[in-house]
Chain A
Amino acid sequence: NAGVTQTPKFQVLKTGQSMTLQCAQDMNHEYMSWYRQDPGMGLRLIHYSVGAGITDQGEVPNGYNVSRSTTEDFPLRLLSAAPSQTSVYFCASRRQEYTDTQYFGPGTRLTVL
């Protein structure tokens, strides 16, 4: 099992550019999430999905889009990158029930110039 994988590991964008952060899991987990981590603020939820075809907003969704066409993949799209989106992004997955442990990918460090 590869667990949760994310690509790329590092990315530098210019303001206004768009890109997609990839996330995949091979544990057949229904629930997947995207978080951003900023100094002193812990992890904040961007978007999440409770299954293929179902997504919802988290705490900080503005400027990001998601879709979930398969159980395995949950890409995060930045529509028009801004310097405020400079952050480390983590994808996570768990089985459907709230009681289950959430497992994280290795993270993507994004810098927007």
Chain B
Amino acid sequence: AQKVTQAQTEISVVEKEDVTLDCVYETRDTTYYLFWYKQPPSGELVFLIRRNSFDEQNEISGRYSWNFQKSTSSFNFTITASQVVDSAVYFCALTPNTGNQFYFGTGTSLTVIP
């Protein structure tokens, strides 16, 4: 079975705080890709990152960083020094190499309070 779990439904932080969004996935495939998308209040879905199952290096892009750990089937997303513009719903997604489907988590709504 393929599944993505984002246990944090809503998170609120004060501006400049760091925040980590959790993503846990399930798959029997040994080859797969993981993604994060951002959905700001305007509603569009914005691609943030793609990571394949063979690359466990952490990635940093500005204030964003991602921690991929196969041992715990997790792909967590950290925002450092959060800003009000980071307020959005964030989705984690999985695509295995069998089948053609993307599997999305239910999303985490982040509110950054000024």
Contacts and interface: CB of A to CB of B under 8 A. Distances in A.
Contacts of A101: 35, 47, 50
Contact of A45 (B102, B105, B106): B102
Contact of B95 (A41, A56, A90, A98): A98
Q: Dominant SS at the A interface?
A: strand
B104 A43 contact: yes
Contact of A90 (B45, B96, B97, B101): B45
Nearest to A44: B104
Contacts of B52: 99
B101 A45 contact: yes
A103 B47 contact: yes
A interface, size bucket: 20 to 34
A41 B4 CA distance: 12
B104 A42 contact: yes
A74 interface: no
Nearest to B32: A98
Interface in A29-51: 31, 33, 40-45, 48, 50
A2 B52 CA distance: 27
Interface in B35-53: 35, 37, 43-45, 47, 50, 52
A107 B9 CA distance: 22
Given A90-B45, A102-B95, A106-B44, 20 more contacts: A33-B102, A40-B106, A42-B91, A43-B91, A44-B104, A45-B101, A45-B102, A48-B101, A58-B101, A88-B43, A98-B96, A98-B97, A98-B100, A99-B33, A101-B47, A102-B47, A102-B102, A104-B37, A107-B44, A107-B45
A104 B43 contact: no
Interface string B83-114: 00000000101011101111011110000000
